[in-house]
Chains A and B, each alone.
Chain A
Amino acid sequence: MRSEDILKTVEMIQKENLDVRAVTMGISLLDCHRADAKQTSQAIIEKITRHAGKLVQTCEQISSEYAVPVVNKRISVTPIAHVGAGFDAAGFIHIAHALDEAATLVGIDILGGYSADVANGVTSGDTELINSIPEALSTTQKICSSVNVGSTRAGINMDAVARLGQVIKELSERSAGSGGFAAAKFVVFTNQPGDNPFMAGAIHGLDQHEVVINVGVSGPGVIARALERRIANDGAENLGLHDLAEEIKETAFRVTRCGELIGRRVAAELKIPFGVVDLSLAPTPNVGDSVGEIMMILGMDAIGAPGTTAIVAMLNDAVKKGGAFASQSVGGLSGAFIPVCEDRYLADAVRNGSLGLEKLEAMTSVCSVGLDMIAIPGSVDAATISAIIADEMAIGMINGKTTAVRLIPVPGKEAGEFVAFGGLFGESTIAPVRSVGKSGRFIAFGGKIPAPIHSLKN
């Protein structure tokens, strides 16, 4: 083995924030439905603790063998609307508390799957689950929730979109003491994947194994440093964007390989199938771990200025190309994330006004995964939030990709004020929302935006 390869690898891990962002165990809970919510909850706790009892310990053991940190150990479960179908909202809340208890018992960071898919229509179970979300998320610690409201095949369920605008408002108001933090644990999707290891949108889809290990890699810091080195060595005047795309691709290969190796080892130790590596570039609020920083290195003096969307498109594509070759099976969201609060450079760009909701929306049409972790004024009405969701869902539906919305209306605060959620959830200035209150008539129509035509592509 060449000593420069050894040195480069050690530096990626020690100095450039290379880690495995999430090892997520997907567990099917379809067989846990019982006569009542109490018994169902017991069955859920029993099943989760049986399968995930050694998850954290195994991740730590393998992480130490390679000296590569596994930052989060998580669980995703069958969308609970299926598991609890037939129970009322109170029954669902009982299940939410059981999930929280199970998550604590096995020592994981977070559990996703308090979820429903209503793209085509709403069942009674879906309705009860959605009604229970505000209380469920504001009375639990580790539970994340998501609702899929649209798909390229089904269109967008606008009744659900209208309702979820109210749910987000309620989540924020119930957690006013923590800046509306409960809303950060809830995300609305179009084309939601069933193998995504990232939160808040992780679910264990109905087409999955009984139990599976999925892995989310990280590494914006590694890519930023590789680009800086390349530019310093060769000189910016001697490099084209294609050279930089190639550098990203090679680095993405290395980053993905870490996830692939660790994920497959964890799965093998636990004797369960390995699912996918999610190739997403996931930033953290830590210095040197930012997707926005990569945009600056690639030539933007202000994130959000013209050119930002093109850069994100190139970055996203290069990451996929490098990662796809590094992994046996790729899935989940797989793209560059732009979660504002969780990315120091993006949060700065929102603070100084160069980056706004509209540009973020444009960027999400070429990257993963949507309007993510954006703090907005608490005064924005539910219908306007629903309309923002509808716009983002339309991008996903028409382009056949996953899009999502995770907005946090911060109670009592207006645009330009500051909110901090702590830890990996980060902090940000509250982004202005333009033309508030002008979308009410559109949202009031409800019904459905029909599925798009699949020819005449323009």
Chain B
Amino acid sequence: MSTQSIEYIISITSQDRIGIVYEISSALAELAGNIADSRQSVMCGYYTMILRASFPEAVTRKMIEAKLAEVDQKSSTPLNILVNSIDGPLTSSDNLENRYVLTASGADQIGFVARVAGFCVKHQINILDLSTTLSHGEFVMMLEVDLSRCTSINGVRTALVDFGRENHLRVVLQHHDIFKAVNEISLPIRPKREQ
């Protein structure tokens, strides 16, 4: 690989079928693209993938789009593909000090997710990961969140109590470490934190 390379974020959604990953990754390899990171998920038979790949400077965004469009044409299911170049430095979500898990549960209702997400916006909470499920007949929303931009974690806690009461939700905010501690082999003990 040349030392000069450009990074792209590529996302693909499609109805799920065998061969999507093979076709996409082969096409990227033909353009000398190096996949650095990827995630995929399937929900109700619908497939989605996001990946980060770097290409030599000579490979332009248009070339990548054209290559992937070829894959789409040959595909038995339509592929929705988006290619974005990464501008500026890569941001990492490795700030483990301030990573918390917020769970909100209550009756399934229109606007549930929006309300919780609205709370996060109001308190400068960045959502790193989000999943929802039904448990014991209740709608449960689980968010991995970064609180490093909050001015006061205690302030968030207080606001959360009010938020839960007003919206008839049970909300719990817990540091991410407790989940690692009870579910993983190694104990997440780091040097003393800054208060």
Contact = CB atoms under 8 A, between A and B. Distances in A.
Contact of B182 (A7, A12, A64, A269): A12
A328 B186 CA distance: 11
27 contacts: A1-B101, A1-B129, A1-B144, A3-B131, A5-B179, A6-B103, A7-B103, A7-B133, A7-B140, A9-B179, A9-B182, A10-B172, A65-B174, A66-B175, A66-B177, A67-B173, A67-B174, A253-B182, A257-B187, A261-B177, A261-B181, A261-B187, A261-B189, A265-B189, A268-B189, A268-B192, A269-B192
A383 interface: no
B138 to A, nearest CB: 11
- Main secondary structure, interface of A, reads helix
B178 A66 contact: yes
B174 A66 contact: yes
Interface string A1-42: 111011111101110000000000000000000000000000
A185 interface: no
A260 interface: yes
B174 A1 contact: no
Contacts of B175: 65-66
Interface in B107-153: 129, 131, 133, 135, 140, 142, 144
A163 interface: no
Given A1-B129, A7-B135, 12 more contacts: A1-B176, A1-B179, A1-B180, A5-B179, A7-B133, A10-B174, A258-B182, A260-B187, A261-B177, A261-B181, A261-B188, A261-B189
Contacts of B180: 1
B168 interface: no
Interface magnitude class on chain B: 20 to 34
Q: Which residue among B101, B180, B181 has the maximum number of chain A CB atoms within 10 Å of its CB?
A: B181
Contacts of A2: 183
B144 A254 contact: no
A264 B192 CA distance: 10
B192 A258 contact: no
B181 A258 contact: yes
B157 interface: yes
Given A6-B142, A9-B183, A258-B178, A264 B189 contact: yes
A36 B183 CA distance: 53
Contacts of B189: 261, 264-265, 268
B178 A9 contact: yes
Interface residues of A, number: 28
Interface in A62-121: 64-68
A65 B195 CA distance: 12
B140 to A, nearest CB: 6
B172 A67 contact: yes
Contacts of B179: 1, 5-6, 9
B178 A261 contact: yes
B172 A3 contact: no
A253 B186 CA distance: 12
Contact of A64 (B103, B135, B157, B188): B157
A67 to B, nearest CB: 4
A66 B173 CA distance: 8
Contacts of A66: 174-175, 177-178
B135 to A, nearest CB: 6
Q: Which residue among A6, A64, A268 has the maximum number of chain B CB atoms within 10 Å of its CB?
A: A6
A328 to B, nearest CB: 8
Contacts of A64: 157
Q: A-B pairs with the 3 shortest C-beta distances?
A: A66-B178, A254-B182, A3-B131
Interface in B28-86: none
A329 to B, nearest CB: 12
B166 to A, nearest CB: 20
B172 A14 contact: yes
A451 B174 CA distance: 51
A366 to B, nearest CB: 27
A168 to B, nearest CB: 41
Contacts of A68: 174, 178
Contacts of B177: 66, 261
